[in-house]
Amino acid sequence: MLYLRAAFRYTQRVFQSRPFCCEPLISQMTKCRDKEQLFDLVAKNKAILSEKQVECALTVLWDLRKLKSYTPQDIQYIRNHPQYLTLQSLTAEKMKFMNDETLVNVLNVIQRFAVEVHDPLLEVLIPEAWKRLGRVLSLLMVNISALISRSFQERLLKKSEVLFDTADSSYLSAAKRIVQFLRKIKCSHYPLLVRCNNLFLVSVDYLDLASINKIFSLYYTLQFYSFEFNIVMKRKLTEMIPLCDPTASVTLFVALASVAQPGDKKRLESTILPISEDLTSQQALAVFEAMGNMRSRNIHLIEKIVSTLNKHLDSYEPIELLKIVRILTSLHIQNKELFVKLRELLLRYLKTSNILVDIRSLVCAVSMLPSHLDDTVIARIESVLPQCNLFDINVLITSVSRWIQNDHMCLDSTTGKQLKLLQKLDYYGNQKIQNWNNLFLHSEELRALRRDCFAESFLERIVATLQCLVHEINYTNVVGIASFISRTNYLSTLLLDKVASVVTQHIEKIHPFQLLAVLLPFSSLNYDPPQREEFFTTYIEYLNSHLGTLDPHVLVHHAYSLATLGYFPEDLLMAIFNIKFLAKLNSQVGILSPSSKNRIRLCVMALNRAVCLESPEYQIPWFHDRFCQQKSNKGFVKMNQIQQQIYKMLSEVLGETNCVKFLPTTPYYLNIDFECILDKRKKPIPYGSHNITFGKLPEMHGESNSQLVDSRLPPDAQRIAFQFLDSKAFCVNTPHVKGQSAMNKRHLEILGYKVIQIPHFEWNSMALSTEEAWKNYLRDCIFGEMKS
């Protein structure tokens, strides 16, 4: 018995077990009629008080104020009383055991008794309350994301911003749920994403492999990119490579695939290869998707993963089968057996499925494989048309058109039913567009429409509808409208003027991370709004105030876009063209894929060239000579059919082939197709013994390329540059030259060239359908202005 009693006392002490007289003690507290009586109870029972009893004591202490009004002296007496200090100490000690209601009640009483601005106990209780609120709120947000209205979403986001203003690593789980909520509602809310991202960065030691992989996936879906996050997480994940077990190696491979260096990628692939045949269906798909993202060329591993996918093919959902087909296509994998099995499986699913999302995915997938579009499939597609929104119809019409093109049984003619299906899709799409009467309700559909899979028949109608709703464009949707214009390359002066007006008036309400999106349509489409000076001045001032918050590559894109339009803000350029910034940019670019890395470096080069040519007063040196030479020294370049036509006609117009130079090396390495030189009598000057032959790149000059061309010309001679402009150089709806081609011409003219740009729609027109017409066209371009 003595041993049992001792053991009981020990467990009471260690596990803080509660006394059986809990309720009687609380009853005694509620019957107290003055503070001294209550303090006596606290003194006698302080060793065994539970969190509920502490709550009761504090509540009763404040309720006694109703019976006996407390003076400031009474409040001070209570605050200094030893038993009140005991209650405070117990509150801090038992805070973790309190449920949410108890914590709120205790916090309420402590706040009322507090007279100091920074009460030590409040500084402990308030963060705990906010932490719990963040946890509960984030759980609530994730669970009700599909049920709430847009206005309620915005209120939740604003509340979450306040919660995360002072968040620490204890909010880590809540932050992950908040990002998950944003993914569920398809909203890249940058103020909240930035707060969560900052929390992830300071809590990197608490993030495990699964969490990092999940965050990468969420960021990818939300199109949110943080160089700093990628660098920190890449370092942490790379350290895990030698330590990971086979189970974790799949997750590590997926997480690191997009950011790992070539050496690390090889190590990752070597860890996957031995276990590739034992992967589950989902693991194999995750690895295959990662290999597609990293453009893997490991043939042996690809074959192993494809074999595993083939084994599990029947277990995949339609959306997963679509992923597999896309990756097989992007990696140019040739596996006849797999493609046959895939086609049969897709068609079998398509003929039995009744779910819109599945049918859309299946049609998109099977359209990439040669197969026959039969009546059963057509009927299945027609059955879901009433359920489709514009995005669904757009995917279907693009996929059906591709399917018909790939259908070997319909190469000679398209059946009436297939044409009827396309007409129905077009009809339903037009009906959806005509029903657009509120930008707010259709912003998600607009955001989902992409240029690379856009039915051209819808574009003009969508723009016309947006122009009718132009009065609804405001700071909440202006970024979406600007992004849509950039994606489609459709020049609508009415929409762009409204975008410029809204941005000028409300730029402080646009997050700095979204700022580039509103500039891109103006720079890419080469358009100046009526309020040009006010718009760009406001934009540049706002950008200058956030130079320290944007990633280096984003600042480079800002500067290049402004340079395209002829703006060269000094603060921005001085921030970019310094050794510290360029070193940081170089280190961050190092984690990108080769294609992304190349795009950013080309952008820096083009910006450097633009500043040297258009703003020499900044005295920024040209430091891309070696880079451009490496890009130019790529061996032989073949003329395409159009270039051969132009070369032949130019040779005949100018008299001989050695008067025309193909792909000449220009100062600052500006791209032109052909070059010729006319003397002061407007006669062509031959290029000496240097004959141009089809497919050969002219020899590179060894001297520095930054000299002006006139220094190497005879007196009064002139260089003429010829550029053929294909459809990509123009807006889709008008023969208006886009920004990059316009800037290219501007720079060549600064260097002393006469620039002749040959639009594709003129060269391929009916008016120029003969060789003689082509030659007359070129003669007029070369000599017309000179003779006048």
pLDDT above 80: residue 689: no
Predicted local confidence at residue 113, as pLDDT: 75
Residue 643 pLDDT greater than 80, yes or no: yes
**Averaged pLDDT, 586-604:** 86
* 105-114, 155-164, 275-284, 367-376: segment of lowest average pLDDT: 105-114
Q: What is residue 629's three-state secondary structure?
A: helix
Q: Which long-range contacts (CB under 8 A, 24 or more apart) does 533-536 make?
A: 534/504, 535/500, 535/503, 535/504, 536/562, 536/565, 536/567
Cα angle 208, 212, 216 (rounded to 5 degrees) comes to 175
Residue type, 107: L
Distance between CA atoms of residues 390 and 392, nearest Å: 5
Q: How many CB atoms lie within 10 A of CB 545?
A: 12
Residue 137 has a pLDDT of 75
Question: Would you give the end-to-end CA distance of the chain in angstroms?
Answer: 122
Poorest-confidence range of 360-369, 593-602, 686-695? 686-695
**Mean pLDDT, to the nearest integer, of 666-672?**
93
Please, what sign has the CA dihedral across residues 525, 530, 533, 537? negative
User: Are 73 and 25 spatial neighbours (Cβ–Cβ below 8 Å)?
Assistant: no
Q: What is the pLDDT of residue 41?
A: 86
CATH class of 633-787: alpha beta
Please give the pLDDT value at position 696: 35
In this prediction, residues 707-731 reach a mean pLDDT of: 81
What does the pLDDT read at residue 114? 67
Least Cα distance to 559 among 590, 527, 515, 589 occurs for: 515
pLDDT in tens, 171-223: 788 889 999 999 998 888 999 999 999 999 999 999 988 899 899 999 989 98
**Residue 490 near residue 459, CB atoms below 8 Å:** yes
Paired residues of 662 in beta bridges: 674
Helical H runs in 313-335? 318-330
| pLDDT over threshold 90, residue 456 | no
Residue 692 reports pLDDT greater than 60: no
Q: How confident is the model at residue 593 (pLDDT cuts 50, 70, 90)?
A: confident
Q: Which residues pair with 759 in a beta bridge?
A: 725
**CA pair distance 342, 345, nearest whole angstrom:** 5
State pTM to two decimals: 0.80
Count CA atoms closer than 13 A to 659's CA, side-chain side: 18
Q: Give CA–CA dist 645/653, Å, rounded.
A: 12
Those residues whose C-beta lies under 8 Å from the C-beta of residue 624, and which sit 6 or more positions away, are 604, 605, 608, 609, 669
Which range among 161-175, 392-406, 411-425 has the greatest average pLDDT?
392-406
User: Per-residue pLDDT tens for 726-767?
Assistant: 999 999 999 999 999 999 999 999 999 999 999 999 999 988
Domain boundaries, the chain: 24-115, 633-787
d(Cα 664, Cα 654) in Å, to the nearest integer? 17
For residue 684, give the 3-state DSSP assignment.
strand
pLDDT at position 121 = 74
Cβ contacts of 632 within 8 Å, gap of 6 or more: 665, 669, 697, 700
Give the pLDDT of residue 452: 55
pLDDT band of 147, cuts 50, 70, 90: confident
Residue of 233, 208, 205 whose CA lies nearest to 219:
233
pLDDT digits (tens, 9 = 90+) for 237-276: 888 887 777 778 888 888 887 777 777 788 888 888 889 8
On the question of pLDDT at 165 being above 90, the answer is no
Q: Which residue has the tokens 């809990």?
A: 22
Spatial distance between the Cα atoms of 201 and 189, rounded to a whole number of angstroms: 18
- Looking at per-residue confidence, does 214 or 710 come out higher? 214
Mean pLDDT, residues 44-65 taken together: 84
Instruction: Report the alpha-carbon distance of residue 35 to residue 61 in Å, rounded.
Output: 6
Task: List all residues 6 or more positions away from 426 whose beta carbon is below 8 Å from its beta carbon.
Answer: 397, 455, 457
From start to end of 586-691, where are the E strands? 661-662, 674-678
pLDDT digits (tens, 9 = 90+) for 547-562: 999 999 999 999 999 9
Place of tokens 């296509």: 329
Q: Is 656 helix (H, G, I), strand (E, B) or coil?
A: coil
pLDDT reported for residue 317: 94
